[in-house]
Amino acid sequence: LRGLNNLLFYRYRDLAPQLVPLDYTDKPDVTLPYELIGSMPELKDNPFRQRIAEVFSEDGDGNMTLDDFLDMFSVLSEMAPRDLKAYYAFKIYDFNNDDYICKSDLEKTVNKLTRNELTPEEVRLVCEKVIYEADLDNDGKLSLEDFQHMIIRAPDFLSTFHIRI
Amino acid sequence: MHPPAGPAASPGPAAPPAGAELLRWQWQEVQVPCLVAAWILVASLAKIVFHLSRKVTSIVPESCLLILLGLGLGGIVLAVAKKAKYQLEPNMFFLFLLPPIVLDSGYFMPSRLFFDNIGAILTYAVVGTLWNSFTTGTALWGLHQAGLMDPGVEAGLMDFLLFGSLISAVDPVAVLAVFEEVHVNETLFIIVFGESLLNDAVTVVLYKVFNSFVELGPAHIHATDYVKGVASFFLVSLGGTAVGLLFAFLLALITRFTKRVRIIEPLFVFLLAYVAYLAAEMVSLSAILAVTFCGICCKKYVEANISQKSRTTVKYTMKTLASSSETIIFMFLGMSAVDTSKWAWDTALVLGTLLFILLFRAVGVVLQTYVLNRFRLIPLDRIDQVVMSYGGLRGAVAFALVILLDRDKVKAKDYFVATTIVVVFFTVIVQGLTIKPLVTWLKVKRSDHHKPTLNEELHEHAFDHILAAVEDIVGHHGYHYWRDKWEQFDKKYLSQLLMRKSAYRLRDEIWDVYYKLNIRDAISFVDQGGHVLSAAKLALPSMPSRTSMSESSVTNLLRESGSGACLDLQVIDTVRSRRDKEDAAMHHVLRGSLYKPRRRYKASYSRHFISPDKQERQDKEIFRQNMKRRLETFKSTKHNICSSKSKARMKEKGRKKKDISLTSDAPNGRTHRSVPWQEAAPVLVMVSSEEEESDSSETEREDDEGIVFIARATDEVLQGKATPGSLDVCPSPCIIPPSPTLAEKELPWKGDQADLAVYVSSETTKIVPVDMQKAWNQSISSLESIASPPGIETGPQHRRFACPVLEEQPQSASQAMPEQISCFQFPSHVSKSGRSLSDSSPDGVEQQELQPLMAAEEQGRALPPAEPRRLMFSRASHI
């Protein structure tokens, strides 16, 4: 695990060698601004790049400290419990941070996933159906419980939600 | 070809016939195709016979039966013709019988699952097959050296390695035949099956290399030959794959331009795949790999390009071809076994081979899995390994290869042939027979056939992106990274190039899933329309069928809309006026049976169809309407708290409680078989839009039905177990454990009727054209009379609350109940009353509301069958 942490640290430092000091013993207050992460060429086409950075960063604006960076990885590691994963997945969908996936959140997700190829009408239909499928307490939006329930129902769902290095 | 024999034709210069021939016996000309057709016919008829008995086919795999049949037929041929005829010829097998099976498996390969597990599949296919070949070969050689074998077996190390290479490859045909009936979970299936497909390259190379070594003789083999062998492996496998990809590309490109020649679209798929096979075979690359990858890779684009009808054609033709090939292969395998002239038996060799292939496969699987599990996200557990070892079936490929051996070069060919036949028979029959009980006994995770929900689709995509993003940020180029890159490449270039513009737009997967879900709904609607159609036909024979078809479909549509309404009274109050108006308008349109879709929808849908004829448009419109209504209902129910959503919630519980409810499912399953018309009624399917080819014993699926569950709730009421409070559907999360209630046991048909109930509401009848109304009125009102005590004459809404106890609960279960009876009766009654009572005519739309009033007058005539009465009594006694 230690080796992994080192690995991640070097990666973190590689992102911005001029900002991040090599010596972390006195816990310097360093954050990577979102622009750095968002402008990575690999991430250019990824619809969720900003959202991921926002969710995992402490300040919510996508600026990441080393801790955030490590957190992000540990959430997606194999050791992380299911509930934690579900929670973070939920948070990624919850664009307006109101602890519910409401229709506007879903519309955003769908639009991101389809790269705005669907007409608004189609997006609306899809979102309605998605909510219809998963909304158990019938409030027109998905709470964390709804989300967890839906995800647990699909057997291998969260187990694929991780990364190993 | 010869000219047809006629009186004037072909006088025949050599021997002038006595006169002009009237007919001539021309068996010689048609012999070959005739024999082919005859054998296919025999095999297919045999299949029908096998499937006459469900019991037999559920225990014995079809492949076993076919082999046994082949043995029998072979025996007969041998007895009649005094020599073995009609063998499985390697050429025929490789050129004609194998390609359809491989194409079918490649084309319908779940590509994502396949590529998710590609690492494991490749490992087992390459390393596993190599391991099996070498260990089996050397072990047999050791046995030979130890002097345990008959001295007649003249074989050196190379011969045994050659034999090992051909006997150790898992056979795709056999695996598919057996595993299709076992239904293990998808991962396990894809690994075993993928291995059996991809090991072809290894087998081909090993076989060829060893064959040439044997021909050269051990003395003349140089080190370079070994290197050549290794090099040829890469050449054969990668070359085969490349050929497959090339043809997949061509195929996709061609189908892009078939817009005007829709009718030959399916042909291209088969032709190009076959040409890929032949091309690979021609340059001695791995033909199986070529076709497999051609199928896997072209599918996405081809499916997007060709029309819906062509898709169906491709699917069915492919399945037909593959299935008949498989049948013939197994039958001929059986027939070939009787040819004793090829046999030379050696007990030690046979037993040794059997033992070694089983042993080494198990060892190989365990060793490889041990390594693989370090890299796999979801490790393969012990049970999986057992199934994988045991599922290594050998089949016709091994047999064809061993027949191809040259007797002059490979002295022990006869022994090898006999051993191969025994091994194939043993694996297909013994292992094939026992694998099903084994899987059950080990409690291997079965595949669950739940259809992908929109949620899953959505989250799967989102997760992919998220994971790819995180991998990017962390700077790790893992699996997600590459998949993401591939998808972007595909989206940017390949799809643009290979798909029609219109299709490309439609290929968006999320919309696709949504679309498919809705299409399923629509299909089940039309199906249901077919049922009502038959009822309507009985009632009104004079009605032109075309009209009645459309009307009946619409009837169903309206039923559906009624379902929402009848679930919630408040909804009716608020929405009714608008709906009435809409319905009236629709009714007008319907009268001419011209049902024009609205332009708005057409834009987004018609692309999918070539030239939507009237019927299609109708279906489409119906389907649109259906969805719209559902959503409307859904929305409006959101305002009023009680709603159809409760269905969904109960559905959830149904899923949760699946394990518990398994026992109570059993009666449901029986229901379907015992009540024939219910079995046919696709309403069941419609509710959760779960359109699977469900055999009725798969009750888990039915459990997903929200409304089935409501029926159980009703049962609870019947038993007086549940208090009204616990039945309340409003948000309180109450769970009603679906235990088999008394009523369910007593009345096995009870479990499902609520499905129908929801769709038959009084509102439904409103818009049905007048002549249909008659039948409806009569049937429904006569049913009313049965359902509710004749004394009570209430309005249409009170009608629903025939039993006073339930009246307080504005709740689907209680509403559904009285109607269950009416709708349960419905089909039989429409026919009955329709025939006998077509004279009496209750008139307009308004009258419909007053059906119960007419109940009394109809009651005398309509003879209620015994069952509803029983229900009445039981209900009365319980409440």
Burial class (CB in 10 A: 0-12, 13-18, 19+), B516: middle
Rg (Cα) of chain B, in Å, rounded?
A: 33
Query: A108-122, B11-25, B134-148, B605-619 — which one is most confidently predicted on average?
Result: B134-148
Across the strands, what pairs with B184?
A: B446
**Amino acid B503: pLDDT:** 63
Q: What pLDDT is stored for residue A108 in this prediction? A: 80
At B619, the pLDDT band (50, 70, 90 cuts) reads: low
Average pLDDT over residues B1-28: 57
Flag whether residue A4 sits within 8 Å of chain B, measured between CB atoms. Answer: no
> Alpha-carbon distance B674 to B668, whole Å?
10
Chain A residues with beta carbon closer than 8 angstroms to that of B458: 109-110, 113, 126, 130
Give the pLDDT confidence score for residue B476 in this predicted structure.
66
Query: Residue B875: its pLDDT value, please?
Result: 40
pLDDT, one tens digit per residue, over B241-273 is 999 999 999 998 888 888 888 888 888 889 999
CB contact under 8 A, B470 and A135: no
| Gap from B491 CA to chain A (nearest CA, Å) | 11
Flag the least confident range among B130-134, B143-147, B866-870. B866-870
Chain A interface includes B617 (CB < 8 A): no
Give the residue on A whose Cα is nearest the Cα of B450. A154
CB proximity A153 to B under 8 Å: yes
- pLDDT tens for A61-108 read 767 777 777 777 777 776 777 777 778 888 888 888 788 888 888 888
**Enclosing H/E stretch for B405:** none
DSSP, res B94: I
Report the Cα B137 to chain-centroid distance in Å: 40
Separation CA B514–CA B523 (nearest Å): 14
Q: Taking all residues of chain A, what is their mean pLDDT, rounded to a whole number?
A: 74
* Cβ burial, residue B374 (10 Å; 0-12/13-18/19+): exposed
Q: Cβ of A165 under 8 Å from any chain B Cβ?
A: yes
Inter-chain touch A136–B646, beta carbons under 8 Å? no
Of all residues in chain A, the one with the smallest CA distance to B471 is A163
What Å distances lie between residue B15 and B10, B12, B108, B204, B322, CA to CA?
11, 6, 58, 53, 48
Query: Do A125 and B463 lie within an 8 Å CB cutoff?
Result: no
Q: Looking at residue B739, what is its pLDDT?
A: 45
Checking if the pLDDT of B13 tops 90, the result is no
pLDDT attached to residue A9: 75
Nearest residue of chain A to residue B658 (CA atoms): A153
Question: Using the beta-carbon criterion (under 8 Å), do B511 and A122 form an inter-chain contact?
Answer: yes
Higher pLDDT, A2 or B275: B275
**A47 or B299, higher pLDDT:** B299
Minimal CA separation from A101 to chain B, in Å: 12
**CA-based nearest residue to A160, from A72, A68, A89:** A89
Contact between B730 and B642 under an 8 Å Cβ cutoff? The reply is yes
Q: Which two tokens stand for residue B684?
A: 């069941």
User: pLDDT for B484-504, tens place per residue?
Assistant: 778 778 777 777 777 777 666
Structure tokens at B423: 């091994």
Q: How far is A24 from chain B (nearest CA, A)?
A: 19
The answer on pLDDT for B355 being more than 70 is yes
What is the ipTM for the molecules in this complex? 0.82
> By CA distance, what is A134's nearest residue in B?
B455
B381 interfaces chain A, CB cutoff of 8 Å: no
Q: What is residue B278's predicted lDDT score, i.e. its pLDDT?
A: 93
Asked if residue B665 has pLDDT above 50, the reply is: no
Helices within B82-128 (DSSP H only): 90-92, 98-107, 111-116, 118-122
Closest Cα in chain B, distance from residue A14 (Å): 9
In this structure, of A37-51, B90-104, B201-215, the range with the lowest mean pLDDT score is: A37-51
Give A-chain residues touching B488 at CB under 8 angstroms.
45
More confident residue, B631 or B105: B105
Categorize the per-residue pLDDT at B632 as very low, low, confident or very high, splitting at 50, 70 and 90: low
Predicted structure pTM score: 0.62
Task: Judge whether residue A26 has pLDDT over 70.
Answer: no
Average pLDDT on B218-243 reads: 84
Q: Where are the alpha helices (DSSP H) in B306-395?
A: 308-336, 347-372, 382-390
As a whole number of angstroms, the distance between CA B762 and CA B800 comes to 10
B761-799 residue pLDDT tens:
444 434 444 455 555 556 555 555 555 444 444 444 444
| Mean local confidence (pLDDT), B347-359 | 88
Q: Which of B604, B638, B733 sits opposite A140 (nearest CB)?
A: B638
Q: Which chain B residues touch A149 with a CB distance below 8 Å?
A: 652
**Structure tokens given for B627:** 């969805």
What part of B 462-521 touches A (C-beta under 8 Å)? 462-463, 465-476, 478, 480-481, 484, 488, 505, 508, 510-511, 514, 517
Q: How many CA atoms lie within 13 A of B841 on its CB side?
A: 7
pLDDT at B279: 93
Residue B864: CB partners within 8 Å, gap ≥ 6? B782, B785, B786, B825
Identify which of A136, A159, A163 has the shortest CB distance to residue B652.
Answer: A136
A29-33, B24-28, B255-259, B302-306: least confident range = A29-33
Is the model's pLDDT at A33 over the cut of 70? Answer: yes
Q: Side chain identity at B852, as an amino acid letter?
A: P
Pick from B469, B648, B655: CB nearest A49: B469
HEC states along B523-566? HHHHHHHHHHHHHHHHHCCCCCHHHHHHHHHHHHHHHHHHHHHH
Share of chain B above pLDDT 90, in %: 6
Residues with Cβ within 8 Å of residue B513, at least 6 apart in sequence = B452, B454, B457
Residues near A57 by beta carbon (within 8 Å), at least 6 away in sequence: A31, A34, A63, A64, A65, A68
Most confident of B216-220, B530-534, B650-654, B756-760: B216-220
| Best CA proximity match to B350, nearest among B150, B535, B609 | B150
Taking CB atoms and an 8 Å cutoff, what residues of chain A touch B465? Answer: 46-48, 112-113
Structure tokens at B747: 């009345």
User: Between B443 and A78, where is the model more confident?
Assistant: B443
Give the model's pLDDT for residue B779: 58
Report the residue of chain A nearest B376, measured CA to CA: A164
Cβ(A157)–Cβ(B376) below 8 Å:
no
Q: What is the pLDDT of residue B813?
A: 41
Using the beta-carbon criterion (under 8 Å), do A159 and B377 form an inter-chain contact?
yes
Across chain B, mean pLDDT equals: 66
Please give the helix or strand (H or E) that residue B489 lies within, else none.
Answer: helix B479-489
Inspect the interface and report whether the beta carbons of B472 and A42 lie closer than 8 Å.
yes
Average pLDDT over residues B14-29: 71
Closest CA to B719 of B522, B877, B569, B846: B877
Spatial distance between the Cα atoms of B265 and B796, rounded to a whole number of angstroms? 54
pLDDT single digits (tens) B798-848: 444 334 443 344 444 444 444 433 333 344 444 444 444 444 444 444 444
Q: Which positions in chain A touch B379 (Cβ < 8 Å)?
A: none
* Cα–Cα distance, B150 to B347 (Å, whole number): 8
Give the integer Cα–Cα distance in Å for B45 and B449: 30
**Contact yes or no for B684/B752 (Cβ under 8 A):** yes
* DSSP secondary structure of A64-131: B-HHHHHHHHHHTSTTS-HHHHHHHHHHHH-TT-SSSB-HHHHHHHHHHHTTT-S-HHHHHHHHHHHH
Q: Identify the pLDDT of residue B216.
A: 77
> Which residues of B are less than 8 Å from A124 in CB distance?
none
Distance CA B344, CA B412 (A): 9
CB < 8 Å to B648, chain A: 132-133, 135-136
Tokens 């197994």, residue located = B330
pLDDT at B110: 85
Say which of B481, B517, B645 has its CB closest to residue A138.
B645
Confidence at B628, pLDDT banded by 50, 70, 90: low
Of B455, B604, B655, the CB nearest to A134: B455
Phi then psi for B446, rounded to 5 degrees?
Answer: -85, 165
Q: Are B810 and B569 in contact (CB under 8 A)?
A: yes
Sequence-ordered list of residues with C-beta below 8 angstroms from that of B160, at least 6 positions apart, any chain: B137, B138, B140, B141, B144
Quote the DSSP letter at residue B639: H
Q: How many CB pairs under 8 A join A and B?
A: 145
Put simply, the chain B residues between 623 and 642 with a CB less than 8 A from any chain A CB are 627, 631, 634, 638, 641
> CA B696, CA B68: separation in Å to the nearest integer?
30
Question: Taking CB atoms and an 8 Å limit, are A48 and B469 in contact across chains?
Answer: yes
pLDDT in tens, B410-440: 778 888 888 888 898 888 888 888 888 888 8
B562 CA: distance to closest CA in chain A (Å): 19
Least confident of A102-111, B64-73, B124-133, B635-644: B635-644
A152 touches chain B (CB under 8 A): no
Mapping DSSP to helix (H, G, I), strand (E, B) and coil, where does residue B172 land?
helix
Cβ-count burial B389-408 (b if 16+ within 10 Å, e if not): bbbbbbbbbbbbbbbbbeee
Contact A164/A78 with Cβ under 8 angstroms? yes
Q: Does A162 touch chain B (CB under 8 A)?
A: yes
Contacts of B460 in chain A (CB under 8 A): 157
pLDDT exceeds 80 at position B571: no
Residue B160 in this model has a pLDDT that exceeds 80: yes
In B, minimum Cα distance to A108 occurs at: B462
Residue A129: closest CA among B733, B515, B707, B466: B515
Contact: B475, A14; criterion CB under 8 Å: yes
Question: What is the distance between the alpha carbons of residues B665 and B264, in angstroms, rounded to a whole number?
Answer: 46
